[in-house]
Structure formats: structure tokens, C-alpha cells
Amino acid sequence: MQVTAQELRLRAKKLPSLPASVLALNQAVQDERCTVDRLLAILQKDPPLSASLLRLANSALYAGDGEVRDLKTAIMRLGFDSVANLGTGAAVIRTMKGSDRLDLTKLWQHSVAVGLVARGVARLVKKHGDAETAFLGGLLHDIGKIALDQCFPEEYTPVVRRIQEGVQSVEAERELLGLDHAEAGSILAAQWVFPEVIIAMIRDHHTPPSGEFLPNLINLSDLLVRTRIPNSPADEHLIVNIHEEPTYPAVFGHLKEEPDFERLTFQIDDELDHAMAFVDLAYQT
């Protein structure tokens, strides 16, 4: 059966919505006049989200000197953009769960790892202003798989079977459904009113436009993570030579000197551990 974008839009309306607090957080941090007290007021109305942020502030990812015991300190330690992105990530992970076909824990571990690696690479190549956006784009890049699985469970079952036989997910989806998870994810992200830059990263992460930094960064980060934790049998022998990747000019071409790729390799291994911890914390209520 072929799936159309319009059919997905209709069925996706029945998927759970993100909490109003998450939408309010994202709107608040885009306001130049945003204050700690404004974020605090939003978070205090959502105890589960507040608890998640406190746990994340005290995790190995963000822990500084001393334990964080209150939301105000957590906001100041994490920063406004991180608070919004971490809150969004934790909420999406808790909201989009439950499948008889997909290993969602593994999918989210992969997705968080891609976000963390993308953020790390952005900082490595001096694109600090894009680092947090890269994290959220990486974290959400595969939500289309969950959208297709939950909106078309019968139709997605043979797709999962083809993936287990060694076909890449995007190829199996196009072959059997006519719609892949990148397009599906961008549709869901649009319904959740995410910014266009996030929608574009999700939509283009398998075929990033030449020269556009963020979609190319997500594509490369996805490949790098899959060499460590294969997404499917098709990834078992995946090898990435960064210099030969089509994404190289868009991600690294603006640098005068080549970055420390050995350092990047060690960083990726660390981020895999952090990703597993993040997902464990996000699943807690």
C-alpha cells in the first residue's frame, strides 16, 4: 500500500500532542526579553517536566560543582536554549512510546546520540550559535519512523521486516510505502509547530542540500553514530571516511585548519554513554 502525505497528516492528528508547557518554553526562549522567572513559571505548572530537567541538570551531561536542588539553579546552569531543548526532548520521548514493531529505547538512544554528536561537532567547527539547534534536530531526526509505525501499523510491519533483512530503512519505506520517515517526520514536526529550521533538518537528513550546514551536519552525525551502534543489519559493516563524505565541505569547508578528528572519535564514544543515560532519565516520571 502506498501512503500519501495527506493521509499521514490526517492520521497524525490523532497522535498525542506535546504538553502545552513545552510549546510555551519554546516560545519563551525565542523572546529576547525572556527571563529566568518566566521559564520558572512555565515549569512550575508541569511537575514531570520539572523533575526531568532537575535530573538532567544533575546528570553527567551537565553536572557542575555541587548538586542542583531547585529549578532556578537548573535553568541558570543549563541555559535558556538548553532548558527548552532538553524539555522538548524529554517530553517527545515520553509522548512517543509504545510499539510492537520498533525498539523505541534503541531508537531514542540513537537519536539522542546523534543530537549530542551534532552539537559537539558544531562547537568543534566554531558554529556555537548552531549547537543547540543541531542537538534538537538530531534528537528529532527519526521521529518519522514512529509516526509511520503508529499511524500505519499494518503497513509498516513489512517495512520493519525488510529492514531486518538488510535493507536501509529509508529505501524500504520508499519501496513499500512511497513515503519515507524523513518526510513523515517533517510533517509531524510541522503539526507540532516546530521552527522551519528543525523541520528542514528532519526532512533533509538523508539528502541534505549542498552547502547547508545543519542538514549536512545531521546526516554526518547520523552516519558516525551508526558506525558505533548499528540501526539495522544494513549498518553492521558501515564505515565512514569523513574526508570522502559529500557532507564534508558543508560541515568543515569553512575552517582554515582541519579539526582534531581523533578528539571527535573519543567524543562520539562518550556521547553514546550520555545518550543512554538521557533516555533512561527521560523515561522516568
* Secondary structure of 54-109 in HEC code, one letter for each residue: HHHHCCCCCCCCCCCCCHHHHHHHHCHHHHHHHHHHHHHHHHCCCCCCCCHHHHHH
Q: Is 3 inside any structural domain? A: no
Task: Give me the number of domains the chain comprises.
Answer: 2
Write out pLDDT tens, residues 259-278.
888 888 888 888 888 898 88
Minimal CA–CA distance to 273: which of 228, 235, 233, 219? Answer: 228
Residues 122 and 255 in one domain: yes
Return the half-sphere exposure (C-beta side, CA atoms, 13 A cut-off) of residue 238.
22
Q: Could you give the C-alpha distances from 234 to 32, 181, 227, in angstroms and in order?
A: 45, 17, 11
Residue 84, C-beta contacts closer than 8 angstroms, at least 6 positions apart: 25, 26, 28, 29
Q: pLDDT category, 64, cuts 50, 70, 90? A: low
- What does the pLDDT average to over 105-114? 94
Q: Is the pLDDT of residue 201 over 80?
A: yes
Q: Is the pLDDT of residue 71 over 70?
A: yes
Residues 207 and 242 in one domain: yes
Q: Which three cell numbers stand for residue 272?
A: 553514546
Residues 55 and 129 in one domain: no
pTM of structure: 0.93
pLDDT of the residue at 65: 64
Q: Is the pLDDT of residue 166 over 70?
A: yes
Residues 111 and 232 in one domain: yes
pLDDT of the residue at 95: 86
- Yes or no: say if 2 and 29 are a contact pair by the CB < 8 Å rule: no
Q: Is 9 inside any structural domain? A: no
Q: Is 2 inside any structural domain? A: no
258 lies in which domain range? Answer: 100-283
Residues 203 and 143 in one domain: yes
Of 80, 95, 110, which residue is a domain's last?
95
Cβ-based neighbour number of residue 206 at 10 Å: 18
Residues 84 and 119 in one domain: no
Q: Is 7 inside any structural domain? A: no
Minimal CA–CA distance to 200: which of 209, 191, 247? Answer: 209
Residues 178 and 41 in one domain: no
